[in-house]
Amino acid sequence: MRSPVSRDQLARRLSSALCLLLVSAFAWGAWRQTAGFDTWTFEGRRQLQLASGDLRAPTVAMTKGFGNETLVWPAGATAPRAYLVEFIYTRCPTVCRTLGSQYQQMQHRMAQDPALAQVHLASISFDVANDGSTELRQLATSLGADPARWSFAVPASDAETQRLLRALGVVAVADGAGGFVHNGDMHLLDRHGQLRAVFTLDQWPQALAAAGRLAVQVPTQAAAE
């Protein structure tokens, strides 16, 4: 005949079962968030999502600052076929200025190459509190932006901003000193808003070449839906 289980034994068993349940839940969550443990980094996970075509810009309300394009996706049938999108804030003294310089070089090359006519440059601010039409227009003017090739805009609200950044896997975190820490990549989008590739600052020639190739591709039925 089995002896009765004491209160202490029962407590230990319940504690062990709870620990096992918590470990299992953590393991399942980690497996899900890291694509089966293939990657543990945020950027690595974004690369997996990019490769599988899961990253797409949602339709968000934008305040236009400068340029001929409204920078809302999906865009119409007459919109450019390829967009090189950077995320900035106008008070940024470092990476945004470098991006601006790279975009100036791309704009110069686009003006010389008719094959790049279907490529458009886009600068989108995530600093809704400080960047409006006036600030964006001033920045565009200081960079010598051509409105036919380069547009500036900011989402209409913080909520819209976060929705756009999350959808494309972009990080912008307040640095505690009035600015932001953010990834200064160039994002290649098609006119449907799908993220096709991501390039670092020094890869601007490759980014422009990839945009040119995307711009001459014949749209597929799947992409149009």
φ, ψ for residue 72 (rounded to 5)? -125, 130
Asked if residue 113 lies in contact with residue 76, where contact means CB atoms within 8 angstroms, the answer is no
Sequence spans of domains, the chain: 8-51, 62-218
pLDDT value at residue 219:
57
- Residue closest to 110 by CA, chosen among 218, 203, 207, 188: 207
pLDDT-derived band at 56 (thresholds 50, 70, 90) equals very high
Which pTM does this prediction carry? 0.74
pLDDT digits (tens, 9 = 90+) for 18-38: 444 444 444 344 434 444 444
A 10 A CB-CB count for 206 gives 13
pLDDT-derived band at 54 (thresholds 50, 70, 90) equals confident
pLDDT value at residue 201:
86
pLDDT digits (tens, 9 = 90+) for 90-132: 987 665 666 678 899 999 999 999 999 999 999 999 999 999 9
The tokens describing 210, both together, are 């990839």
- Could you check whether the bond before residue 74 is cis, i.e. omega within 30 degrees of 0? yes
pLDDT digits (tens, 9 = 90+) for 147-159: 999 999 999 999 9
Fold of 62-218: Glutaredoxin (3.40.30)
